Structure formats: C-alpha cells, structure tokens
Structure 1
Amino acid sequence: MTKRVLAFQPWDGGSHRAVRHSIERHAEHEWTFRTMPGRGPRWRLRLAGLTFATDERARATAGESPDADAIFATSMLSLSDLRATLPPRLRGRPHVLYMHENQIAYPASPKTRERDRERDTHLAFTNLASIEAADRVVWNSAWNRRSFIDGIEKLLKHAPEPFDPGWRERLERRSLVIPPPIESLDDRDRATTEDRESDEGGPAAILHNTSLMDYPDAVRVVWPHRWEYDKGCDELLEIANTAKRREAEGGPRLHWLLLGQPFQRVPESMRTMLGDHADRIEHAGWLPRTEYVETLRRADWVLSTARHEFYGIAVAESLLAGCLPWLPDRLSYPELVPPEAIGLDPWNTDIRTDQPRGHGLNRAGIHQRIAERLEPAAANIAVRRLESVITDAIDA
C-alpha cells in the first residue's frame, strides 16, 4: 500500500540533491519534499528544524499542510527540534532520519579558529539529539555510522556527568546501512541540469585542453572531488609531482581529469596544480551530465585523496564507468571495492595487460567484483530499501 511521506531536506545541493531526485524518480510511496538551498551549514543544523516546523504550522493553520504517514528528514537539521515543534498531528508519526553525513567526523578547516573547532562539537551533539528523536536511522555507509559512534564516545568522556549508557544500544537497534541511490550511467533521460548542475558561486570549467586527447598511450586519471580542503588537494599536487618525475624516469604518462566542483576561492595547491601541470590536465571543472559520463568512460583510473568521504557517489560512478580504483584504505572506500582492489595505482599495474602486479585478478575480474559490491546502490534498489524502512516504521 502506498504511504504518504513528508520529507524535510535542509541542504538541497550536491549529493544531497541527487539523493532527493533519485527518491522522486523511483519512489512507490507518495513523497512531499520541503527543501532549503545548500548554504550556511551551521545555521541549517541549528535553525532548519525550527524553520521547517514554523512553516508547517502556518500551513496547518491555513489548512494547507498535507497529512502524512511518516516524517523523513536528512541530517543537516535538528530532528529533535523539528519533532518537538511540528503540528501536533505530525509529531506522533514515525520519524526516519537519513544520516547523509555526521558532524563528528567532518574535518575542521585549517583556517578555523580553535574556539570555533570546540564550538563545532556542539553540532555533533545536534546529530546525537536527532538520532535520539528518530524511530529509524538510515546511514549511507558503515563508516559513517562507525565514525559517529567512535567520535561521540570520545566526546562524552569529557561530559561533567555520565551520559545515559543506553544511547549506543538504542542507536544500533534503530539503525541500518543503505547506500545512497546511484543512477545508471546509461540513463539518457536524466536531467543534466539537476544532478550535476554547477552550484552558485563557482566557475563551471577552468581548463579544457583538447590537444591532450591525441595521446592514445596516456593513462587518464579522474579526480572527482570538490576543490576544498577536506578533499586532499595538497595530496593531489604531490601525486602529480611524483607522476611527472616518474614519467621522466620512463614511467607512464598520466593525464588528469579534475571533474569536481571548483568554487570562487580556489585552494593554493589547486592553483599550483593548474599552473605546473597544465600540459597534463585534459579538463578541470564541472561538466554537463552527458559529457561527464563520456569522460569517465574514457578514463583509466579514479583517484581519491579525500580526508572526508561518508560514501563517495562520484567515486562509485567512476568505478561503474570502468575506471580502476586508486583509493586509500580509509573512510568508506573498503565498502565500495574488494580488499584486493585497495592500494592499486598506475605504477604497480601492467598497462598493456591491465594486470595489477601481485594480484590474481585482471581488470575485468576487478570490475566484476566491484559491480557486485555496488549493486545495492543501484537507484531503484536503494530507494526500494529506503521505502521498506519507512513502511516498517509505520507498521511497527
């Protein structure tokens, strides 16, 4: 039976927006989304729940608030504030919290003052209060859940009084992991301006060098991250420097495809990358969906230098497009690829045979194992599982 879901999305940008669009495309339930633009993260975490509830009370007074069988909310708000201040008839409905990220494992900017880093711990407790207020909690990766639990346990040791020791058991009992929905790369009907649109505030493309496409023997490496401190721009530059040195010593010629979103303020390491390695950068900046997929499919590797990644939709898309994984043994990546695919790079792989040295699998074998790992993230499967959680919460 179709259920009615009233959903609150306080950060409707980037991968958050992509998840919403997939839900709307594949849902069997009847969803009504309330959204806010993706800006002001601290303000969203502290005020979005109250703002949404205020708006919903106004709709209720005007007789315009829809009835709902369940409430769905994403993690960039305080669900405890939302649930406490919604119209009374909605407060008692099952509340499902989708933990797209957690604030305890989100790295502070190097420019953040120490007192502000301490203040940011309050946002982690906003997450904890949201989890306590939820009937079900969905995490997009086991790493997301594990990093939150480990981080909160450390923070609670500094509390002036012991906190209820039952919090972890309640969290684990209400929680399950469902990967974010990933749309098929073959879907030509997917709206290019919605799922990979360039958010306000940043240039669409910085560099496009078509002449580099004439090198058939070049090894093409996708780096699909936002151009921000938490994505390891400095490590990318170090790797590019190493690649240039090893090429001079007879190693493979690496070409770079920097497909993540740039912003108005470009990190210094990325400026250096664009200057020192322009003769090896085929593209830098955002691409429309069709061109983005075509670029992934002609690449050989996907590289991540991220220091923070709760799932990695762009990395998963690159893998599904046929890229070999150049991924660190950290964050969510061990959930995306089999153990034998961690630690590979273009220098320990025979490019002519696609046979990673020291491994029993060739490129085709690795991709088969990766496809098996990523099958639960197929958009229709992931949305179906998410709706089953909501149905179970309603029927409980």
Structure 2
Amino acid sequence: MFEAVGGKDSGSPRVLLVEAFYGGSHKQLIDLLKKNIPSCSVFTLPSKKWHWRARTAALYFSQTIPTCPSYRVLFSSSVLNLCELVALRPDLAHLKKVLYFHENQLVYPVRKDQDRDFQYGYNQVLSCLVSDVVVFNSHFNMDSFLSSIRSFMKKIPDHRPRDLDQLIRPKCVVLSFPVQFPDVSREHDKNPELFFNTLLKLKERQLNFQLSVLGETFTNVPEIFVSSRHQLDSHILNWGFLPSKDQYLQVLCDADVVVSTSKHEFFGVAMLEAVHCGCFPLCPKALVYPEIFPAHYLYSTPEQLCKQLQEFCKRPDIARRHVVTVDTSLYSWASLEPRFQTLLSTERP
C-alpha cells in the first residue's frame, strides 16, 4: 500500500515511512506518524506471513517506492532488511535512516534454540549497521539486543565479524512506543499455562472471581486454552476478540486486576492500557516490566502470583481502592511527540 500524506505543510514528501508488517503496534505507530509528521509518504505491506515479509519486503519496496528528490528521512521497523533496501536503491542511501525496534530477534523466544532462524537476527544486525539512528521501545529491548550480538555471531562457524555491538551502540536511543490513551493483544510466548493453572487453583479453593481473556484467536490455539475455557466456564465473563475498541475498553474499566504471565515482552501496550483504565497490574519481575512497574506490582514465582490473586479474591476492595502508581501519561503520544518530531527531522545525530 502507498499513501502520500500532506501533513502540516503542503510541500513535497520529506519523510519516507516504510512498514513491512502493517498491523498491531507497527500499524499504530505508522498511523500516528503519518497523521502528525509533516510531508510523509507511506509504503506498507499487510501484516501477514511475517517470515516472508522479513525475507523479501526489501526487494518489493525497492520496486514500488518511486524516486523522489525531496526525501530526507527514511523510517522503518526492524522487520525490514534495511541493508538490502539501500543496496538495491542507492538513491535512498543518503537519507537519514531511522530503524525502530518493536522487538528483536536475537532474544525472541523459541521452543528450542535450534529452531531459531539465524537469518532474521542477522538481518537486524545488518540493518543497524547501515542506519543512522537505531531506536528501541524500551531499555530491556535495547540491552538484550546489544548484549546478545556477540554470542549470536558465534553461531557463524569461522571468520566471524567482531565488535559489532560497539559499532551499533553509539547509534542507539530508547523512545517508548506511544500509546493512544484513553482510546484504549502468538501464543507460546505468553505462558498461558501459568495463567490458567493459577486460576484453576483459585477455583479449587472455591474462591470467587470473574475472568475475561481478551485478544485475537489464532489458527493454532494451545490446548490449555480449550481445556481451561471448559473448566473455568462458570467464571468467564468475556473470551476472545471483541469487535470494537469501545467494548474492549469497557471490559478493562470493569475489571479490578490485570495479569501478565508473559515469557516475552519488549514493551507491553495491553498492560498499560489496562492500568490506564484502573486495573491493578500483576507482572513478572523480568523482561521489560521492572522498567515500567514499581516492585509492588511484580511477582517472582507462580506461588507469589497465586497468593496475591487469592488475597484479591477474598478482599476485592484492596484492588478496587488502590490508586496505581504508574504514570501512564509518560507513554502517551502527547508526551512523546516532540521526541518523534526531532527523530524524524533532517538533523543527523
């Protein structure tokens, strides 16, 4: 898809927004930028077949992005192999190239390490090397990526490149994903087993609670979802994808507690949305969560999570009266817009 956006001035397009996986948070960010950044041209591919987008999007965009002498800045997510694109299109190489990491493939969870496709992480490293600015949505995302480069490159059998992290680090900045408040989300990486097993323990103890499990339904649904939905049927208020954002927000506003059991999270938009709607958050003491949530919202073990939820079942007023000490406004577009404006200015770092 191509869309030219005039923005706040009527001149020729100055910023080139390229998104190889136009869906979810990737789409939300591109939509925000094209709405608020002057003089953009937008080129996207639908959010399907992620692996093929990562492999081949650069070639596609090299043929579909027209030559335009007014371009000054190129912004893309790390799904795109930026190195390939600027090699195929030398006219884009002189632009200020900004690469945004929603997630990184060096630590993205796989069931077995041998299942990890080397090429995806390798492409991200190459893209960083040709970028002028490398932007991560959290310190956890940045630190985990940079600290993993050296061990990741050891997979190469010989003649390994050296000191790549030192070449990339000076280009790196952290700029949180801008969540649109109050317009208030894969499966093995979210650890549903811990979540449902904890709730089943609460049920066995005959504790009173109501449950909403929200999100898209995918083709390959883990068995734990099927069996738990049956066993927890009497406690379920909502299950699955809700047709409108308003309905989704209403469920969050009606809830008392939001739980994450993720084994993978580089930012956590859904948790912040729920907190913004008044939910008490319970998150793992790992990944990005300690960066955003104070210690009293973090649990270290499944037993701690179960104990906390058991207390809320017995005393729901504790969660309902609590005022969450997380300033969600820090992650709003209103707060972050000036930094994105600077990022997409023609000035190089």
TM range (shorter): 0.7 to 0.9
Q: 1:138 aligns with which of 112, 116, 135?
A: 135
Q: 1:153 aligns with which of 130, 140, 150?
A: 150
Greater CA drift, 47-56 or 322-331: 47-56
Shift in Å at residue 348 of structure 1? 4.2
Query: Partners in 1 of 2:238 and 2:120 — Cα distance?
Result: 37
Query: Partners in 1 of 2:64 and 2:290 — Cα distance?
Result: 41
Q: C-alpha deviations, 1:27-85, integer Å up to 9, x for none?
A: 232222100011222211121112111222xx33xxxx473110011111111011111
Greater CA drift, 319-328 or 341-350: 341-350
> What SS class does the counterpart of residue 370 from structure 1 fall into?
coil
Matched-pair identity in %: 26
After superposition, residues 189-338 of structure 1 pair within 5 angstroms as 225=185, 228-246=187-205, 248=206, 251=207, 253-287=208-242, 288-338=244-294
Maintained 8 Å contact 1:141/1:178: yes
- 2:86 alignment counterpart: 83
Q: 2:315 aligns with which of 351, 362, 365?
A: 351
After superposition, residues 15-164 of structure 1 pair within 5 angstroms as 15-25=25-35, 27-56=36-65, 59-60=66-67, 65=68, 67-86=70-89, 88-109=90-111, 117-118=115-116, 120-159=117-156, 160-164=158-162
Greater CA drift, 153-162 or 39-48: 153-162
Shift in Å at residue 347 of structure 1? 2.8
Greater CA drift, 150-159 or 72-81: 150-159
Shift in Å at residue 395 of structure 1? 4.7
Letter in 2 for 1:74: S
Query: Partners in 1 of 2:106 and 2:148 — Cα distance?
Result: 6
After superposition, the Cα gap between the structure-2 partners of 1:162 and 1:183, relative to the gap in structure 1 and judged at 3 Å, is same
Letter in 1 for 2:16: L
Shift in Å at residue 162 of structure 1? 4.3
Query: Partners in 2 of 1:34 and 1:389 — Cα distance?
Result: 19
Maintained 8 Å contact 1:4/1:70: yes
What TM-score results when the alignment is normalised by the length of structure 2?
A: 0.87
- 1:382 alignment counterpart: 336
Query: Partners in 2 of 1:109 and 1:14 — Cα distance?
Result: 23
RMSD, aligned CA? 2.3
In the alignment of these two chains, the number of paired residues is 329
Maintained 8 Å contact 1:49/1:78: yes
Shift in Å at residue 301 of structure 1? 0.8
What TM-score results when the alignment is normalised by the length of structure 1?
A: 0.77
Question: Mind listing any 5+ residue stretches in structure 2 that lack a counterpart?
Answer: 1-7, 300-304
Maintained 8 Å contact 1:302/1:318: yes
Question: Mind listing any 5+ residue stretches in structure 1 that lack a counterpart?
Answer: 188-224, 357-361
Query: Partners in 2 of 1:258 and 1:352 — Cα distance?
Result: 19
Letter in 2 for 1:346: L
Maintained 8 Å contact 1:300/1:324: yes
Q: C-alpha deviations, 1:349-382, integer Å up to 9, x for none?
A: 57355279xxxxx712xx2x201xx333102322
> What SS class does the counterpart of residue 316 from structure 1 fall into?
helix
Relative contact order, higher structure (CA 8 A, sep 6+): 1
Maintained 8 Å contact 2:202/2:310: no
Shift in Å at residue 19 of structure 1? 1.7
